[in-house]
Chain A
Amino acid sequence: MRIEDVICHWRQFSLMLLALLGVQAQAAEVLHEERSVYRNIFVTEEGGRRCLLFNAVRGERNQTCMNTANPREFVFHYAKMTMAGLLVNPQPQNILIAGLGGGTLPTALHEMYPDANIEVLEIDQAVVNVARDFFHYVENEKVVTHVVDARVFIKRAGLAGRKFDFIVLDAFTGEYIPEHMLTQEFLEEVKQILTPDGVVVANTFSTSALYDHESETYRAVFGDFFNMKMSGSGNRVIIAQQQPLPDAGVLRANAQPLHPVLEPYAVNILEFPARMSTRPDWDQSRRVLTDQFSPANLLGR
Chain B
Amino acid sequence: MTSISRKALLQNIIVAAAFLNGFVIMTIELLGGRVLSPYFGTSVYVWGSIITIFMLSLSLGYLWGGRLSSRNPNPDTFALFFLAAAILSLPIIFVAEWTMTQVFLNVEDPRYGSLIACTLLYFLPIFFMGMVSPYSIRLLVSSEENSGRMAGLLYFVSTLGSALGTLMTSFYFVLWFEIDTIMWGSIAALLLCGAGVALVHRIPVNEASGVHRDEN
Contacts and interface: CB of A to CB of B under 8 A. Distances in A.
A37 B41 contact: no
Contacts of B43: 123, 149
Contacts of A185: 38
Contacts of A49: none
**Which of A152, A183, A185, A293 has the most chain B CB within a 10 Å cutoff?**
A152
A180 B174 contact: no
Contacts of B104: 155-156
B41 A298 contact: no
Given A149-B110, A152-B110, A155-B104, A180 B178 contact: no
B105 interface: yes
Nearest to B105: A159
B42 A155 contact: no
A284 B37 CA distance: 27
B179 A292 contact: yes
Nearest to A185: B38
B171 to A, nearest CB: 7
Contacts of A148: 41, 110
Interface residues of A, number: 25
B34 interface: yes
Given A159-B105, A179-B34, A180-B34, A123 B180 contact: no
A178 B180 contact: no
Contacts of B174: 293-295, 298
A150 B37 CA distance: 11
Interface string A228-260: 000000000000000000000000000000000
A180 B42 contact: yes
A293 B110 contact: no
A186 B42 CA distance: 13
A159 B211 CA distance: 62
Nearest to A186: B38
Contacts of A159: 105
Nearest to B114: A152
B208 interface: no
Contact of B34 (A123, A151, A294): A294
Interface string B97-113: 00000001100001000
Interface string A157-182: 00100000000000000000011100
Given A180-B34, A292-B180, A123 B41 contact: yes
B64 interface: no
Nearest to B37: A180
B42 A149 contact: yes
B105 A37 contact: no
Nearest to B174: A295
Given A179-B34, A180-B34, A295-B174, A152 B180 contact: no
Interface string B39-71: 111111010000000000000000000000000
B42 A178 contact: yes
B153 to A, nearest CB: 34
A298 B171 contact: yes
A291 interface: yes
Interface in A173-217: 178-180, 183, 185-186
Contacts of B180: 292
A73 to B, nearest CB: 32
A287 B135 CA distance: 44
B32 to A, nearest CB: 13
A152 B178 contact: no
A244 B5 CA distance: 73
B1 interface: no
A212 to B, nearest CB: 15
B8 interface: no
A216 B179 CA distance: 20
**Which of B41, B104, B105, B174 has the most chain A CB within a 10 Å cutoff?**
B41
A291 B38 contact: yes
Interface in B179-205: 179-180
A183 B34 CA distance: 12
B178 A293 contact: yes
B113 to A, nearest CB: 9
Given A38-B44, A179-B42, A292-B180, 15 more contacts: A123-B41, A149-B110, A151-B37, A152-B110, A155-B38, A155-B39, A180-B38, A185-B38, A291-B34, A291-B179, A292-B179, A293-B174, A295-B174, A295-B175, A298-B174
21 contacts: A123-B43, A148-B41, A149-B42, A149-B46, A150-B41, A151-B38, A151-B41, A152-B110, A155-B39, A155-B104, A179-B34, A179-B42, A183-B38, A291-B38, A292-B178, A293-B178, A293-B179, A294-B34, A295-B174, A298-B171, A298-B174
Top 7 A-B pairs, shortest CB-CB distance: A149-B41, A180-B37, A292-B178, A295-B175, A152-B41, A295-B174, A298-B175
